Amino acid sequence: MSLADKHIVVTAGGTREAIDPVRYIGNRSSGKMGYALAEAARDRGAEVTLVTAPTTLSDPSGIEVIRIESAVQMKAAVTEATSGADVLIMAAAVADYQPKKVAGQKIKKETGDGLTLELIKTPDTLAEVEGNFVRVGFAAESQDLLVNARAKLQKKRCDLFVANDITAPDSGFEVDTNKVSLIDKDGQVDDLPLMSKREVAHKVLDRVEELLNKRTKEKKDGGQ
Ligand code: CTP
Protein backbone atom coordinates (compact mmCIF):
# COMPACT_ATOMS: atom_id res chain seq x y z
CA MET A 1 0.00 0.00 0.00
CA SER A 2 2.33 2.64 -1.29
CA LEU A 3 0.12 5.64 -0.43
CA ALA A 4 -0.94 4.46 3.04
CA ASP A 5 -1.34 7.33 5.53
CA LYS A 6 -1.60 9.88 2.73
CA HIS A 7 -4.63 12.11 2.21
CA ILE A 8 -5.25 12.83 -1.45
CA VAL A 9 -7.85 15.25 -2.74
CA VAL A 10 -8.95 14.69 -6.35
CA THR A 11 -11.37 16.85 -8.34
CA ALA A 12 -13.46 15.60 -11.25
CA GLY A 13 -16.15 16.51 -13.75
CA GLY A 14 -17.10 19.76 -15.42
CA THR A 15 -18.49 22.65 -13.39
CA ARG A 16 -21.88 24.18 -14.20
CA GLU A 17 -22.31 27.93 -14.04
CA ALA A 18 -25.94 28.85 -13.58
CA ILE A 19 -27.64 31.26 -15.98
CA ASP A 20 -31.13 30.88 -14.47
CA PRO A 21 -32.90 28.12 -12.48
CA VAL A 22 -32.93 25.74 -15.47
CA ARG A 23 -29.90 26.64 -17.58
CA TYR A 24 -26.17 26.63 -17.12
CA ILE A 25 -22.87 26.98 -18.94
CA GLY A 26 -21.12 23.62 -18.93
CA ASN A 27 -18.42 21.63 -20.69
CA ARG A 28 -17.84 18.14 -22.04
CA SER A 29 -15.88 16.65 -19.15
CA SER A 30 -17.20 13.19 -18.21
CA GLY A 31 -15.34 12.95 -14.91
CA LYS A 32 -13.78 9.62 -15.93
CA MET A 33 -10.15 10.69 -15.47
CA GLY A 34 -10.78 12.15 -12.00
CA TYR A 35 -12.75 9.11 -10.85
CA ALA A 36 -10.01 6.79 -12.16
CA LEU A 37 -7.44 8.78 -10.18
CA ALA A 38 -9.52 8.67 -7.00
CA GLU A 39 -10.02 4.89 -7.32
CA ALA A 40 -6.36 4.24 -8.10
CA ALA A 41 -5.26 6.31 -5.08
CA ARG A 42 -7.72 4.39 -2.88
CA ASP A 43 -6.33 1.08 -4.20
CA ARG A 44 -2.85 2.21 -3.18
CA GLY A 45 -4.03 2.76 0.38
CA ALA A 46 -4.62 6.53 0.42
CA GLU A 47 -7.46 8.27 2.20
CA VAL A 48 -9.22 9.92 -0.74
CA THR A 49 -11.61 12.87 -0.95
CA LEU A 50 -13.25 13.28 -4.34
CA VAL A 51 -14.67 16.74 -4.99
CA THR A 52 -16.88 16.25 -8.01
CA ALA A 53 -18.94 18.38 -10.33
CA PRO A 54 -22.00 16.56 -11.75
CA THR A 55 -21.22 13.36 -13.72
CA THR A 56 -23.16 10.24 -14.71
CA LEU A 57 -20.68 8.03 -12.83
CA SER A 58 -21.65 6.13 -9.69
CA ASP A 59 -20.03 6.84 -6.34
CA PRO A 60 -16.82 4.87 -5.89
CA SER A 61 -16.72 2.85 -2.66
CA GLY A 62 -14.28 3.69 0.11
CA ILE A 63 -13.96 7.31 -1.01
CA GLU A 64 -15.42 10.44 0.57
CA VAL A 65 -17.43 12.13 -2.20
CA ILE A 66 -18.23 15.85 -2.02
CA ARG A 67 -20.61 17.15 -4.67
CA ILE A 68 -20.41 20.66 -6.01
CA GLU A 69 -21.73 22.40 -9.12
CA SER A 70 -19.98 25.69 -9.76
CA ALA A 71 -16.39 26.96 -9.83
CA VAL A 72 -17.06 29.04 -6.71
CA GLN A 73 -18.31 25.95 -4.85
CA MET A 74 -15.30 24.00 -6.17
CA LYS A 75 -12.89 26.45 -4.58
CA ALA A 76 -14.72 26.41 -1.24
CA ALA A 77 -14.88 22.60 -1.13
CA VAL A 78 -11.24 22.13 -2.15
CA THR A 79 -10.08 24.75 0.37
CA GLU A 80 -11.80 22.80 3.13
CA ALA A 81 -10.81 19.33 1.90
CA THR A 82 -7.12 20.16 1.44
CA SER A 83 -6.61 21.39 4.99
CA GLY A 84 -3.84 19.02 6.13
CA ALA A 85 -3.89 17.05 2.85
CA ASP A 86 -0.74 15.66 1.22
CA VAL A 87 -1.78 15.95 -2.43
CA LEU A 88 -4.23 17.91 -4.61
CA ILE A 89 -4.95 16.61 -8.10
CA MET A 90 -7.17 18.96 -10.12
CA ALA A 91 -8.60 16.80 -12.90
CA ALA A 92 -11.85 18.77 -13.00
CA ALA A 93 -12.68 20.97 -15.97
CA VAL A 94 -13.47 24.19 -14.14
CA ALA A 95 -15.26 26.94 -16.05
CA ASP A 96 -13.17 30.07 -16.48
CA TYR A 97 -16.21 32.35 -16.65
CA GLN A 98 -19.59 32.53 -14.95
CA PRO A 99 -22.63 34.73 -15.66
CA LYS A 100 -22.31 38.03 -13.81
CA LYS A 101 -25.94 37.79 -12.70
CA VAL A 102 -27.94 34.59 -12.18
CA ALA A 103 -31.58 35.25 -13.11
CA GLY A 104 -33.95 34.37 -10.27
CA GLN A 105 -36.63 33.19 -12.72
CA LYS A 106 -36.39 31.30 -16.00
CA ILE A 107 -35.36 33.74 -18.72
CA LYS A 108 -38.19 34.10 -21.25
CA LYS A 109 -37.64 34.35 -24.97
CA GLU A 110 -37.96 37.99 -25.93
CA THR A 111 -38.72 39.44 -29.33
CA GLY A 112 -35.54 40.32 -31.20
CA ASP A 113 -32.70 38.17 -32.49
CA GLY A 114 -30.40 37.50 -29.60
CA LEU A 115 -29.54 37.55 -25.94
CA THR A 116 -26.29 38.86 -24.47
CA LEU A 117 -24.91 37.27 -21.30
CA GLU A 118 -22.28 39.16 -19.35
CA LEU A 119 -19.62 36.82 -17.97
CA ILE A 120 -17.08 37.38 -15.21
CA LYS A 121 -14.02 35.31 -14.27
CA THR A 122 -14.38 32.44 -11.81
CA PRO A 123 -11.87 31.79 -9.02
CA ASP A 124 -8.93 29.59 -10.07
CA THR A 125 -8.83 26.85 -7.44
CA LEU A 126 -5.55 25.29 -8.53
CA ALA A 127 -3.73 28.62 -8.55
CA GLU A 128 -5.31 30.18 -5.48
CA VAL A 129 -5.81 27.48 -2.83
CA GLU A 130 -3.01 27.72 -0.28
CA GLY A 131 -1.27 24.73 1.26
CA ASN A 132 1.96 22.81 1.28
CA PHE A 133 0.63 19.77 -0.59
CA VAL A 134 1.91 18.24 -3.81
CA ARG A 135 -0.02 20.15 -6.47
CA VAL A 136 -0.98 18.46 -9.75
CA GLY A 137 -2.80 20.18 -12.61
CA PHE A 138 -4.34 19.05 -15.86
CA ALA A 139 -4.23 20.83 -19.19
CA ALA A 140 -6.56 19.82 -21.97
CA GLU A 141 -5.28 21.63 -25.03
CA SER A 142 -6.17 21.73 -28.69
CA GLN A 143 -2.94 23.46 -29.75
CA ASP A 144 0.62 24.17 -28.50
CA LEU A 145 0.21 21.45 -25.87
CA LEU A 146 3.59 21.56 -24.13
CA VAL A 147 4.09 25.32 -24.30
CA ASN A 148 0.67 25.95 -22.76
CA ALA A 149 1.03 23.23 -20.14
CA ARG A 150 4.47 24.49 -19.04
CA ALA A 151 3.16 28.03 -18.68
CA LYS A 152 0.22 26.80 -16.57
CA LEU A 153 2.47 24.68 -14.36
CA GLN A 154 4.53 27.76 -13.49
CA LYS A 155 1.63 30.16 -13.13
CA LYS A 156 -0.32 27.78 -10.90
CA ARG A 157 2.73 26.78 -8.77
CA CYS A 158 2.36 23.08 -9.58
CA ASP A 159 4.77 20.19 -9.08
CA LEU A 160 3.39 18.20 -12.00
CA PHE A 161 1.12 18.81 -14.97
CA VAL A 162 -0.77 16.24 -17.00
CA ALA A 163 -1.19 17.55 -20.53
CA ASN A 164 -3.48 15.98 -23.06
CA ASP A 165 -4.09 16.83 -26.66
CA ILE A 166 -7.86 16.71 -27.02
CA THR A 167 -7.58 16.57 -30.80
CA ALA A 168 -5.75 13.20 -30.67
CA PRO A 169 -7.95 10.17 -31.54
CA ASP A 170 -9.28 8.21 -28.50
CA SER A 171 -8.01 10.86 -26.11
CA GLY A 172 -9.58 13.50 -23.90
CA PHE A 173 -13.26 13.96 -23.08
CA GLU A 174 -15.83 11.18 -22.71
CA VAL A 175 -13.64 8.24 -23.88
CA ASP A 176 -12.03 5.61 -21.61
CA THR A 177 -8.52 6.15 -22.92
CA ASN A 178 -6.13 9.06 -22.77
CA LYS A 179 -2.82 10.03 -24.33
CA VAL A 180 -0.97 12.37 -22.04
CA SER A 181 2.41 13.92 -21.38
CA LEU A 182 3.64 14.41 -17.82
CA ILE A 183 5.56 17.64 -17.29
CA ASP A 184 7.43 18.40 -14.08
CA LYS A 185 8.86 21.53 -12.47
CA ASP A 186 12.30 20.86 -13.94
CA GLY A 187 10.81 20.98 -17.42
CA GLN A 188 11.16 17.24 -18.01
CA VAL A 189 8.53 15.76 -20.30
CA ASP A 190 7.40 12.14 -20.30
CA ASP A 191 5.25 11.35 -23.35
CA LEU A 192 3.09 8.35 -22.49
CA PRO A 193 1.48 6.15 -25.14
CA LEU A 194 -2.31 5.83 -25.47
CA MET A 195 -3.59 3.90 -22.45
CA SER A 196 -6.68 3.46 -20.31
CA LYS A 197 -7.53 6.28 -17.91
CA ARG A 198 -6.93 3.82 -15.06
CA GLU A 199 -3.38 3.18 -16.34
CA VAL A 200 -2.82 6.93 -16.77
CA ALA A 201 -3.99 7.38 -13.17
CA HIS A 202 -1.38 4.93 -11.90
CA LYS A 203 1.37 6.62 -13.93
CA VAL A 204 0.39 9.97 -12.40
CA LEU A 205 0.36 8.43 -8.91
CA ASP A 206 3.82 6.89 -9.50
CA ARG A 207 5.10 10.43 -9.99
CA VAL A 208 3.12 11.75 -7.02
CA GLU A 209 4.73 9.07 -4.86
CA GLU A 210 8.19 10.09 -6.04
CA LEU A 211 7.40 13.72 -5.17
CA LEU A 212 6.12 12.72 -1.71
CA ASN A 213 9.23 10.59 -1.06
CA LYS A 214 11.45 13.47 -2.14
CA ARG A 215 9.71 15.79 0.29
CA THR A 216 10.04 13.31 3.15
CA LYS A 217 13.76 12.94 2.41
CA GLU A 218 14.27 16.71 2.21
CA LYS A 219 12.51 17.14 5.55
CA LYS A 220 14.67 14.45 7.14
CA ASP A 221 17.91 15.89 5.73
CA GLY A 222 16.86 19.40 6.78
CA GLY A 223 16.09 18.20 10.29
CA GLN A 224 19.47 16.52 10.80
N1 CTP B 1 -8.46 25.26 -12.95
C2 CTP B 1 -8.97 25.70 -11.73
N3 CTP B 1 -9.85 26.75 -11.69
C4 CTP B 1 -10.21 27.40 -12.82
C5 CTP B 1 -9.70 26.96 -14.07
C6 CTP B 1 -8.84 25.90 -14.09
O7 CTP B 1 -8.64 25.12 -10.68
N8 CTP B 1 -11.05 28.41 -12.75
C9 CTP B 1 -7.51 24.13 -12.98
C10 CTP B 1 -8.01 22.90 -13.75
O11 CTP B 1 -8.67 22.01 -12.88
C12 CTP B 1 -6.73 22.32 -14.31
C13 CTP B 1 -5.82 23.52 -14.51
O14 CTP B 1 -6.35 24.56 -13.66
O15 CTP B 1 -6.09 21.44 -13.40
C16 CTP B 1 -5.72 24.03 -15.91
O17 CTP B 1 -7.01 24.27 -16.40
P18 CTP B 1 -7.22 24.95 -17.82
O19 CTP B 1 -8.68 25.19 -18.02
O20 CTP B 1 -6.49 24.15 -18.84
O21 CTP B 1 -6.42 26.30 -17.58
P22 CTP B 1 -6.80 27.80 -17.67
O23 CTP B 1 -5.88 28.51 -16.74
O24 CTP B 1 -8.24 27.97 -17.44
O25 CTP B 1 -6.39 28.18 -19.14
P26 CTP B 1 -7.22 28.17 -20.55
O27 CTP B 1 -8.63 27.75 -20.23
O28 CTP B 1 -7.10 29.57 -21.01
O29 CTP B 1 -6.50 27.20 -21.43
Write the DSSP string, 87-156: EEEE-SB--SEEESS--SSPPPPPSSS-----EEEPP-HHHH---SSEEEEEEEESS-HHHHHHHHHHHT
Protein residue with its CA nearest to atom 9 in ligand 1 = 126
Fold held by 7-97+117-222 = Rossmann fold (3.40.50)
The residue whose CB lies within 8 Å of the most ligand 1 atoms, and thus the one to mutate among 33, 94, 125, 145, is 94
Tell me whether residue 12 is exposed, middle or buried, using C-beta atoms within 10 angstroms of its C-beta: 0 to 12, 13 to 18, 19 or more. Answer: buried
pTM of the predicted protein model: 0.96
Residue-range domain boundaries for the chain: 7-97+117-222
Q: Catalytic residue at 27? A: yes
Q: What is the mean pLDDT of residues 105-125?
A: 93
When pLDDT is cut at 50, 70 and 90, the band that residue 224 belongs to is low
C-alpha–C-alpha distance, residues 157 and 200, integer Å: 22
Output the average pLDDT for the chain: 95
Residues near ligand 1 (Cβ within 6 A): 71, 90, 92, 94, 96, 122, 124-126, 137-140, 152, 156
pLDDT in tens, 165-217: 888 888 778 788 999 999 999 989 999 999 999 999 999 999 999 999 999 99
Residue 80's contacts (CB-CB under 8 Å, 6 or more residues apart) are none
Ligand 1 atom nearest 138 alpha carbon: 15
Distance between Cα 152 and ligand 1 center (Å): 8
Spatial contact of 40 and 202, defined as CB atoms under 8 Å apart = yes
Give residue 12's pLDDT. 98
